[in-house]
């Protein structure tokens, strides 16, 4: 029972930490390289424990993210929902991909996410972001293997105790 | 959060229920976005959840603050000494200039008194610190550690030691968000210091420049010209440095000149800023002096006349109140 509770707290903790990381600013030079942490974290949990991640959860996390650093309420909720939906749909295949293929899939998901964001911003009549804005998904995908292995390792350790 | 589990990750095909749910959530998100765009729900929500949101902002701002204080703590002794020396020199210079200015300021005040306009040299400011939080708006906004409880109101101009930074956009109880002048949806009325030409400076996509897209072709604008706030529109007080022109070229339409300017304020580096308190002078002529009649005890004792006079005076003061305090937001 307590193990179950532990793992639930671990789950909530990683999501909260991802939201916090999203708010922490980087130096101005590194700013465009900041990956979209909540998306990466949600993707990990989608692949790892499907019964926890639902569209409703993605929507909730997105709304929270919007409340903390949104430009428009519902924007990140929509993006995360779309991403989790695609990941859930291809979950069984994504899970057994070799790491490099998984990384490419994550890159595609993150790029798709940026395109969605761009569409929303255009509809909201905001200015086009500069070119460096497109670097972030690549950084996110490059970090994916490390993030995945780190979270996986921490999770197995937590389970063993 | 409801945790329903009715689909077991099919290998090749999804079921309709999942898609339906997705469509439902997407529609909900779209409705939220439209409502927020129309009514600004996001800020109302942040306002009500301020007790939760603000500590999170403080927490997220800790790393930046930590790095800042670490660099102060472990900073080279020599570097700190040098910095101290430089600051002392700056202070000395600034004080000398101030002393020189004091006489001019006094003269100015005297002349303004003669002209019967309001004195604008007094500077009512409030010091604020920038909280290092990423607001998801690509460097166009910053967060300050003062809010409604410290008397901050939306629309207040924000400056640093070198020039105008922006204006307060949204206020929470103990934090507030500043829209920088480099935000593409921000516009600030400026005057070119050398030629006196008035125009409007907009933000730009890159986030570190200002664009002046509609300067007449015959206007006298050169690289290196200084831009000051013109005070038109009543939001920014006149005479503060805004930036310096770095390039001038004809627009693609050939009807105007387009100038690029670099902001005078240290937009990326400032960590302490000043909030101005209702500095802007009202537009239009000054309110006429209240009519001075014969002393009251000489007046015939009729209540009706007194009441009428009172009403007239009230109406006069109401019509003379400055009416155009609207912001320059595009």
Tell me the chain B residues in contact with residue A60 when contact means C-beta distances shorter than 8 Å.
1
Q: Is the Cβ pair A67, B46 closer than 8 Å?
A: yes
Determine the length of chain B: 330
- B219-238 pLDDT, tens per residue? 888 898 999 988 888 788 88
Tell me the chain B residues in contact with residue A28 when contact means C-beta distances shorter than 8 Å.
139, 268
Mean pLDDT (chain B, rounded): 77
CB nearest A67 (choices: B53, B59, B138): B53
Tell me the chain B residues in contact with residue A127 when contact means C-beta distances shorter than 8 Å.
184-185, 205
- B11-60 pLDDT, tens per residue? 444 566 778 888 999 999 888 888 888 877 777 777 777 778 888 888 88
- B281-325 pLDDT, tens per residue? 555 555 667 767 777 777 776 555 555 555 544 544 444 444 444
Q: Is the Cβ pair A59, B25 closer than 8 Å?
A: yes
Is B178:B169 a contact under the CB 8 Å cutoff? yes
pLDDT value of residue B322: 43
CB nearest A20 (choices: B10, B32, B59): B59
**Percent of chain B whose pLDDT exceeds 90:** 8
pLDDT value of residue A144: 93
Which structure tokens are listed for B60?
């997220």
Size of interface A-B (CB pairs under 8 A): 130
In degrees, to the nearest 5, what angle opens at C-alpha A62 toward C-alphas A57 and A65?
130
* Parallel, antiparallel or unpaired: strands B226-229 and B272-276: unpaired
Q: Is the Cβ pair B33, A75 closer than 8 Å?
A: yes
pLDDT value of residue B230: 86
Q: Does B70 touch chain A (CB under 8 A)?
A: no
pLDDT value of residue A126: 75
Question: Residue B263 and residue B75: Cα distance in Å, rounded?
Answer: 29
Q: Does B63 touch chain A (CB under 8 A)?
A: yes
pLDDT value of residue A142: 93
The Cα-based distances of B258 to B213, B214, B222, B318 in angstroms read 4, 6, 11, 41
Flag whether pLDDT at B142 surpasses 90: no
- Say which DSSP state A133 is in: G
Residues with Cβ within 8 Å of residue B24, at least 6 apart in sequence: none
Flag whether pLDDT at B210 surpasses 80: yes
pLDDT value of residue B286: 59
Q: Does B51 touch chain A (CB under 8 A)?
A: no
- A115-142 pLDDT, tens per residue? 998 898 888 777 777 788 888 899 999 9
The helix or strand, by DSSP H or E, that contains position A143, with its residue range, turns out to be: helix A135-160
- A73-105 pLDDT, tens per residue? 888 899 999 999 999 888 888 888 899 999 999
pLDDT value of residue B231: 82
pLDDT value of residue B261: 92
- A49-75 pLDDT, tens per residue? 878 888 889 999 998 888 887 778 888
Where are the domains positioned within chain A?
A: 2-23+36-160
Q: Is the Cβ pair B32, A91 closer than 8 Å?
A: no
pLDDT value of residue B88: 92
Hey, what domains does chain B have and what are their CATH numbers?
49-122 (no CATH), 187-268 (2.40.10.350)
pLDDT value of residue A145: 92
pLDDT value of residue B75: 72
Flag whether pLDDT at B94 surpasses 50: yes
Q: Is the Cβ pair B33, A92 closer than 8 Å?
A: no
Tell me the chain A residues in contact with residue B45 when contact means C-beta distances shorter than 8 Å.
67, 73
Is B280:B232 a contact under the CB 8 Å cutoff? no
pLDDT value of residue B325: 41
Tell me the chain A residues in contact with residue B209 when contact means C-beta distances shorter than 8 Å.
none
pLDDT value of residue B2: 46
Residues with Cβ within 8 Å of residue B185, at least 6 apart in sequence: A126, A127, B179, B203, B329, B330
Flag whether pLDDT at B326 surpasses 90: no
What ipTM did this prediction achieve?
0.83
pLDDT value of residue B330: 41
Tell me the chain A residues in contact with residue B5 when contact means C-beta distances shorter than 8 Å.
51, 54
Nearest chain B residue to A52, by CA: B3
3-state secondary structure of A125: coil
Which structure tokens are listed for B196?
């006196």
């Amino acid at each position: 029972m307590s193990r179950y509770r532990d793992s639930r707290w671990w789950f909530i903790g990683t999501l909260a930490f991802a939201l916090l990381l999203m708010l922490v600013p980087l130096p101005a030079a590194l700013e465009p390289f900041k990956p979209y942490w909540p998306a990466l974290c949600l993707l990990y949990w989608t692949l790892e424990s499907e019964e926890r991640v639902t569209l409703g959860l993605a929507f909730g996390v997105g709304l929270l993210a919007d409340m903390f650093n949104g430009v428009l309420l519902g924007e990140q909720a929509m993006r995360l929902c779309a991403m989790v939906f695609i990941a859930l749909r291809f979950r069984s295949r994504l899970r057994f991909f070799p790491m490099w293929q998984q990384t490419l899939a994550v890159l595609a998901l993150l790029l798709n996410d940026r395109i969605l964001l761009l569409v929303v911003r255009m509809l909201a009549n905001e200015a086009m972001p500069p070119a460096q804005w497109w670097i972030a998904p690549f950084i996110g995908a490059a970090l994916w293997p490390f993030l995945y292995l780190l979270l996986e390792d921490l999770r197995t350790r937590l389970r063993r105790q | 959060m409801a945790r329903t589990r009715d689909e077991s990750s099919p290998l090749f095909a999804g079921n309709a229920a999942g898609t339906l749910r997705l469509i439902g959530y997407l529609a909900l998100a779209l409705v939220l976005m439209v409502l927020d765009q129309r009514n600004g729900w996001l800020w109302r929500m942040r306002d009500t959840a301020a007790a939760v949101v603000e500590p999170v902002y403080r927490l997220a701002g800790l790393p930046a603050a930590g790095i800042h204080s670490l660099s102060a703590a472990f900073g080279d002794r020599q570097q700190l000494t040098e910095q101290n020396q430089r600051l002392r020199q700056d202070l000395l210079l600034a004080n000398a200039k101030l002393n020189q200015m004091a006489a001019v300021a006094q003269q100015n005040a005297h002349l303004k008194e003669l002209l019967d306009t309001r004195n604008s040299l007094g500077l009512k400011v409030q010091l604020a610190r920038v909280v290092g939080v990423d607001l998801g708006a690509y460097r166009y906004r910053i967060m300050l550690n003062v809010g409604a409880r410290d008397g901050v109101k939306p629309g207040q101009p924000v400056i640093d030691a070198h020039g105008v930074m922006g204006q307060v956009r949204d206020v929470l109880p103990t934090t507030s968000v500043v829209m920088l002048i480099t935000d593409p949806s921000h516009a600030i009325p400026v005057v070119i210091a050398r030629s006196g030409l008035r125009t409007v400076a907009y933000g730009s996509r890159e986030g570190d420049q200002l664009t002046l897209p509609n300067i007449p072709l015959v206007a006298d604008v050169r690289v290196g010209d200084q831009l000051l706030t013109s005070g038109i529109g009543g939001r920014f007080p006149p005479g503060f440095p805004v930036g310096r022109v770095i390039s001038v070229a004809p627009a693609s339409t050939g009807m105007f000149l387009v100038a690029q300017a670099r902001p005078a304020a240290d937009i990326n580096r400032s960590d302490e800023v000043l909030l101005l308190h209702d500095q802007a002078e009202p537009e239009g002529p000054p309110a006429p002096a209240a009519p001075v009649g014969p002393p009251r005890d000489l007046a015939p004792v009729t209540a009706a006349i007194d009441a009428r006079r009172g009403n007239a005076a009230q109406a006069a003061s109401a019509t003379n109140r400055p009416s155009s305090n609207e912001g320059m937001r595009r």
